[in-house]
Amino acid sequence: MTDVAKRGGAPVPAGWTYAPAPESTDIVRLQERYGLYVGGEWLETKEHFTTVAPRDESPLAEVAQASAKDVKNAVAVARDASAAWAALPGSERAKYLFRIARILAERSREFAVLESLNGGKPIKESRDVDLPLAAAHFFYYAGWADKLEYAFPNRTPRPLGVAGQIIPWNFPLLMLAWKIAPALAAGNTVVLKPAETTPLTALLFCDVVRQAELPPGVVNIVTGDGRTGAALVDADVDKIAFTGSTEVGKAIQRRLAGTGKKLTLELGGKAANIVFDDCALDQAVEGIVNGIYFNQGHVCCAGSRLFVQESIYEPVVDKLKKRMATLRVGDPLDKNTDVGAINSRMQLEKIEELVAAGKDEGAEIYQPPCVLPERGYWFAPTVFTNVAQSYRIAQEEIFGPVLSVLPFRTPEEAVEKANNTPYGLSAGVWTEKGSRILWMAERLRAGVVWANTFNRFDPTSPFGGYKESGFGREGGLHGMEPYVELT
């Protein structure tokens, strides 16, 4: 018997392969060229650039490169719109936010397909995570818009004015929702710059804004590269909200020092996922896989350092490797895909460089056998064992599907090692003891600590970091605070 084996008397195939289940892209109508969305209108620019699909490098559309002058104009338009928007009763602002939430939910398939096409993430993640969460953020902050006086008791919250918002490419629409929803609910207008490689869902969002009949100038989208982001930082905004690399975050902080502009930074991470020997092992392995291979590891809070208690080190690594072999890497638009395309050539090169450094420094690499497509940007799920704390792969943010495994013996040692990083965004703890979870959570220097789960998000729950992971919180009531002046 070659391709079937006997199990309990019934023949079953020895190996399963999934038939392709591609999601159709027909629902997405792309324009050949996009301008800037300012004051409810599309404005032309002198320069454009091409945005591509990372799965095959095919061009998708031409996108405007906003100059400093274009950005200045967008901010002026947002400024003009801000007094009327701030003066609306909160219940009116809520009405618009609820509309946006509902339209996002109604058009979620269209957005999910476009997100996967432009960003490379698996459709099942765009469909089941990014889109529901983006809509949920608008629903959630719509609920606060008319309750600000209860949100900040005995204080008077006032909007700041114009918020400049700069977002990265790993969760393009979700980061837009994290930024725009609280800003609008608090009565601010916004100018948002999406990342150069993933502008398309932000541009499609302009159509949602139009459909929701939001007053012109309340939401403005300016596309472009880092120069556009830098111009937004320098423009006449009252606040900058930035998510991205620690390097750019630091540059922005230096730039804003002494200007009086408010700033929140959500930067990189190198999260510790800590597995104790009393945990539910199979559940933990699922959490480890989700922690690092979700969204190809392009996640600021990814569990990229796995700390395993020494007594279960071997079985955890064995189980992990077996589980990795079942991950399906490939077309982001296939509904069976677990690990999609790397977002850009630049990011792929960064991952390759750090993986090469890991091998050179002496770590042992494992990648499950998988056939990577010829065109596009791909990287196989990777795990490193025999890693020392000082190796670059254990210290630097790789932002790819690459995990480093390190052993520990005692809870104290786990805390010591987990905190030995310049970052402090998130952590995970796997144990059956509630008291140990609390003991660890008190000592881990991380903004979020997940217990017996990983990468769980909810609009009601604040998210943000310590140290080089930034400051300020997004989500929950805490996420509203950076958008108001309290007197």
> CA-CA distance, 281 to 299, in Å (whole number)?
24
Q: Is 195 in the site for ligand NDP (CB under 6 A)?
A: yes
Task: Tell me which of 266, 397, 474, 481 is the catalytic residue.
Answer: 266
If the CB atoms of residues 65 and 309 are measured against ligand NDP, the closer one turns out to be 65
Q: CB nearer to ligand NDP: give 427 or 437.
A: 427
| 433 beta partners | none
CB of 244 to ligand NDP, least distance (A): 3
Which among 228, 269, 229, 224 has a CA at the least distance from the CA of 248?
A: 229
- Cβ-proximal residue to ligand NDP, closest one: 229
At its nearest, how many Å lie between ligand NDP and the CB of residue 277? 32
Q: Which residue, 166 or 285, is less far from ligand NDP as judged by CB?
A: 166
How many residues sit close enough to ligand NDP to count as binding (CB under 6 A)?
Answer: 26
Q: Can you give the length of the chain in residues?
A: 487
Q: Which positions from 296 through 335 interact with ligand NDP, judged by CB under 6 A? A: 300
- How far apart, in whole angstroms, are the C-alpha atoms of residue 326 and residue 331? 16
Residue-wise DSSP of 52-86: EETTTTEEEEEEEE--HHHHHHHHHHHHHHHHHHH
Give the single-character DSSP code of 466: S
Joined together, the tokens standing for residue 452 give 């017996």
CB 119, CB 343: distance < 8 Å: yes
Q: Does the annotation mark 62 as catalytic?
A: no
* Beta strand 157-159 pairing with 162-166: unpaired
Residues 17-76 close enough to bind ligand NDP by CB under 6 A: none
What's the chain's Rg over C-alpha atoms? 23
If binding is defined by CB under 6 A, does position 166 make contact with ligand NDP?
yes
Instruction: Tell me: does residue 397 bind ligand NDP (CB under 6 A).
Output: yes
Q: Is 394:406 a contact under the CB 8 Å cutoff?
A: yes
x/- contact string, 422-461, with ligand NDP (CB under 6 A)?
A: ----------------------------------------
Catalytic residue among 206, 279, 300, 301: 300
Stretch that binds ligand NDP, among 134-142, 188-196, 289-297, 443-451 (CB under 6 A): 188-196
Tokens of 365: 């690499």
Helix/strand/coil for 266: strand
Is residue 225 part of the contact set for ligand NDP (CB under 6 A)?
A: yes
300 is catalytic: yes
Please tell me the distance from the alpha carbon of residue 467 to that of residue 218, in angstroms, as a whole number.
Answer: 33
170 binds ligand NDP (CB under 6 A): yes
251 near ligand NDP, rule: CB under 6 A: yes
Per DSSP, the three-state class of 171 is coil
Least separation in angstroms between CB 434 and ligand NDP: 31
Residues that bind ligand NDP (CB under 6 A): 166-170, 193, 195-196, 225-226, 229-230, 233, 243-245, 248, 251-252, 267-268, 300, 347, 350, 397, 399
